[in-house]
Structure 1
Amino acid sequence: MNDLFAPASHDGPRIRVGIGGWNYAPWRDNFYPAKLVQRRELEYASRQLRAIEINGTYYGAQKPATYAKWAAETPAGFVFSLKAPRYITEGRRLADTGKGVSGFVHGGLAEMGDRLGPILWQLPPSLRFDADDLGAFLDALPRALDGQPLRHVLEVRHPSFLDPRYVELARAHRVPTVFTDSPDYPSLADLTGNFAYARLMRSADEFSAGYAPAELDRWAGHACAWAAGNDIAELPHAAARQPQGPPRDVFVFFISAAKHRNPAAAMALQSRVDLMS
C-alpha cells in the first residue's frame, strides 16, 4: 500500500472527528486525490479521518456482506456510526418497533466487528416527547451483540424534548443525546450517556475549512472538555448541568450545510484536538 493510503494514527485519542458518508461527487475536486477510482474512496477517507457516519443505512439495512466489506476497507481503530433505518423511527409508536430494531441489529452488524461504533436513532421532527413511548423503546434496545457492548445514541428533533423529564429518562437508560448544531432543530448539550456525540451542521462555503478558525478552535475546546468528563456551560441545556465525570469518548461529525467543505472541516478540527489532547 502506498503512502497515499498510509493510515492515520487512530490509537490513543478519545475524540473522533468525521463526516457523513464518503461517496459525494464534489469531494472528488477538493478531498480525494485526482484520478482516485471511486471504489477506493472509503479506503482513502478512512485513512484521513477517524470516523464516518453512514447515512445509507437510514434508507434501508444493508446485506451482511456489505457491512463486512466496509469494515475490511478501513484501518484498525477506525469506526463507523450507523444511522438506523427510518422505517423504524418514523412509525406511529416507538414502543412498537422492537421487531424492526432486532432485525436491524441482528441483520449483519456483527460483520463490522470492532469497526462498529454508535448506532444513531434519529427521531423525526414531527415526533413529540412521550415519556412512556420513548421509555419502552429505550428499554428494548439491545445492549450487546455477539458478546460486545453496543452503543446507542438518540437524536431528537422536536422542541418538546427540551424538557428536564426527557433528560432524566435518557440518563436513566444511559443513552447519549446528540448535540445537533443546526438552525433547524433543537440543540441539547445535556450529557445523558457515557459518550458525547455532536453533529455540526453550519459549515459555510466562504471558509476553506468550512468554519472560521476561531469557531474551529471553540469546537476543539468543547470536544476536549467532553473527553475530559466535563459539561459545557455555554451550550444550551434542557436540565441542570452534570458535575464532572469520568473521561468519555467523543464523536463529532460535520453534516450537510456546505457539504463540499466538510472533509476539510473534519481534518482541521481533528488536528486541533490532537494538539490539545
Structure 2
Amino acid sequence: MTGKIRIGVSGWRYSPWRGNFYPKGLAQSRELHYASRVFESIELNGSFYSLQWPTSYAQWAEQTPEGFVFAIKGSRYITHMLKLRNIETALANFFASGLFELGDKLGPLLWQFPAMTRFDPELFDAFFSILPRTTGEAMWIACAHDDRPKGRVCLEPLDDFPLRHAVEVRHASFETPEFIALLERHNMAFVVADTPNPWPKFEGVTADFAYMRLHGATELYQSRYTHEELAHYATLMRGWADSGRDVYCYFDNTDKLHAPDNAQELMEMLGLRVPWQGASVAEKRACAATRNASG
C-alpha cells in the first residue's frame, strides 16, 4: 500500500503573506480557513511557545475541512527549559491543554531540540519511553496535570487512535548509529531538516512514517527552493510513500513569501491534487462581496 503524502507550511499567520498568498481583503480570522483549503496539513507552532486553550483547538478543528491534519509542536518547556528532566507534570499539562479537541485532525507531534542539546542515550531513551502512542495513553498522562492549566483542560479524546512522534535535533553529537537505532526501536521519526546551518542531516527513515522540515537551503527561514532542489525532495518522498510510509513535509522558509509557493510547486511536482485553485477563486469572490457590501 502506498503511503499518503501531505505537504504544507509551518504556521499560517504571517503579515507578509497578506495580499500575496492570502487575497487582499481576507480577514485575519479567515486565514486558517483559507490555508487549509490550499494544504492538507499545517504545522501548529503556538503549542511550542505556550499552553494553548481547548477552545482554540476546537476552533481550529472547526475551521479546517474533513481530512485535514495538524502537526503539533511539542512544548519547548519540556525540550528547552526542563531539558527532558522531571517532565512528567509538564507532559501532562501539554496533553491536557486541548489537543484532544482536534479529534482525528491530530497528526504527528514534533519534538524540536535546541542546538546546544547533546545526545544523551539514557535521557532520550527515557523520554521516548514515556511518550504516549495512542490518544488513550495520552489521556491517562493528561489526568496528572497540575493547576497551571486549571479551568482550561480537555481530558477526553473523541476516539482512541495512534499517535506519531518526530524528533528534530541540531547538535552534531546525534550523528551516530546509536541514535538511529534508538529512534528505530521506539518508532520515532528523525526529522529531515534542510537548512544552511550545520545541523544533522539524515535522509533515511527510522519510523513507519517520514517527517520533513524545509527551512531554506541557503538562508535560514528565508531562501526560496529551486526546481532542482525540490525535485530531489520529490524523489525522496516518492520513495518513502512507495514503501508504504505516510510523509509529512512542511516549508518553514516563511519571511519572504516562499513557503506557500514552494509547497504548491512541490505538490504539483508530485502530481498531488491542488485544491487551492478552486478555493482561491471562491475566497476572492467572498472577499470582494464583503468589500462591496461594506463600501
Please state which band the TM-score falls in when normalised by the shorter chain. Answer: 0.7 to 0.9
Moved over 4 A (4+): none
1:179 maps onto 2:192 in alignment: yes
Task: Tell me the equivalent position of 1:228.
Answer: 242
Q: Indicate the residue corresponding to 2:211 in structure 1.
A: 197
Shift of 1:56: 1.2
Deviation digits for residues 70-119 of structure 1 (CA, Å, limit 9, x no counterpart): 01100111111111111110135414212211221232111001111111
* Structure 2 residue runs without a partner (length 5+): 136-156, 274-295
C-alpha contact 1:98 1:137 (8 A) present in aligned 2: no
Instruction: Give the SS at the match of 1:87.
Output: helix
Kindly provide the CA deviation profile for residues 191-236 of structure 1, in whole angstroms up to 9, marking residues without a partner as x.
Answer: 111100010112679xxx932222222221111111112xxxxxxx
Q: What runs of 5+ residues in structure 1 fail to find an aligned partner?
A: 1-11, 230-246
Q: Which residue does the alignment assign to 1:233?
A: none
Please show how residues 36-75 of structure 1 align to structure 2 within 5 Å: 36-75=26-65
Matched, 1:76 2:90: no
Query: In structure 1, how many angstroms separate the alpha carbons of the residues matched to 2:214 and 2:253?
Result: 8
The residue type paired with residue 231 of structure 2 is D
Over alpha carbons, which structure has the higher Rg? 2
Quick check: 1:248 aligned with 2:245?
yes
Aligned length: 245
Question: Shift of the alpha carbon at 1:40?
Answer: 0.3
Aligned to 2:206, the other structure's residue is in SS state coil
Letter in 2 for 1:159: A
Instruction: Determine the structure 2 residue equivalent to 1:234.
Output: none
Contact 2:3 2:247 in 1 (8 A): no
- After superposition, the CA RMSD in angstroms is 2.0
Q: TM-score, normalised by structure 2?
A: 0.78
* Equivalent residue number for residue 212 of structure 1: 226
Aligned to 1:155: 168
Q: Is the 8 A contact 1:204 1:257 kept in 2?
A: no
1:141 aligns with 2:131: yes
Structure 1 or 2: more helix by fraction: 2
Check if 1:268 corresponds to 2:265.
yes
Query: What TM-score, normalized to structure 1?
Result: 0.83
For residue 15 of structure 2, give the secondary structure of its aligned residue in structure 1: coil
CA contact (8 A) 1:210 1:258 kept: no
